[in-house]
């Protein structure tokens, strides 16, 4: 068995924590959790999504996503509507308020990402991204 500190899942968790230190203060300043930001980013990139699609894209379990969606709706960042093609389907999209939030904080997010890339190295970051994509595609 591998030594505890050599565990890949543990190393990935530590790397996630290290990378999130660059972004967490900005999210907290804007009263957003990491999961809420992930949902908002996914919706910004995809326009409208069903909750199952959103859960899959954001790597959030459906029961947890239900609470996140509820809170984002209460904050005025997302809205839900029934699909015109199938009334059983509910689509989720960003509100104008959320789009304004993106406009407001995008320069800061970009600056934090640039700082992260400078500290880690652009080439290493690109290599890491490719390796993580490859790792994520492995199935048991």
Q: What is the pLDDT of residues 26-52, one digit of tens each?
A: 999 999 999 999 999 999 999 899 999
> How far is residue 54's CA from residue 60's CA, in Å, rounded to a whole number?
8
pLDDT of res. 4: 86
**Nearest Cα residue to 119 out of 27, 23, 16, 22:** 22
Over residues 76-80, mean pLDDT:
96
Question: What domains can be seen in the chain, in order of their start residue?
Answer: 4-136 (1.10.10.10)
CA distance 130 to 135: 9
Confidence label for 2 from pLDDT (cuts 50, 70 and 90): confident
Instruction: Specify the pTM.
Output: 0.87
Q: What is the pLDDT of residue 16?
A: 94
Q: How do residues 80-98 score in pLDDT, each as one tens digit?
A: 998 788 888 889 999 999 9
Q: What is the mean pLDDT of residues 63-85?
A: 93
Residue with tokens 């199952």: 52
């Amino acid at each position: 068995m591998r030594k505890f500190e050599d565990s890949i899942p543990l190393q990935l968790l530590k790397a996630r924590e290290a990378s999130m230190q660059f972004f967490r203060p900005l999210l907290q300043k804007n009263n957003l959790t990491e999961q809420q930001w992930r949902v908002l980013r996914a919706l910004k990139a995809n326009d409208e999504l069903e909750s199952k699609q959103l859960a899959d894209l954001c790597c959030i379990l459906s029961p947890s996503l239900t609470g996140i969606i509820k809170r984002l709706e209460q904050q005025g960042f997302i809205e839900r509507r029934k699909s015109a093609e199938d009334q059983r389907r509910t689509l989720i999209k960003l509100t104008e308020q959320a789009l304004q939030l993106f406009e407001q904080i995008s320069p800061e997010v970009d600056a934090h990402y640039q700082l992260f890339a400078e500290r880690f190295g652009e080439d290493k970051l690109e290599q890491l991204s490719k390796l993580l994509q490859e790792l994520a595609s492995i199935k048991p």
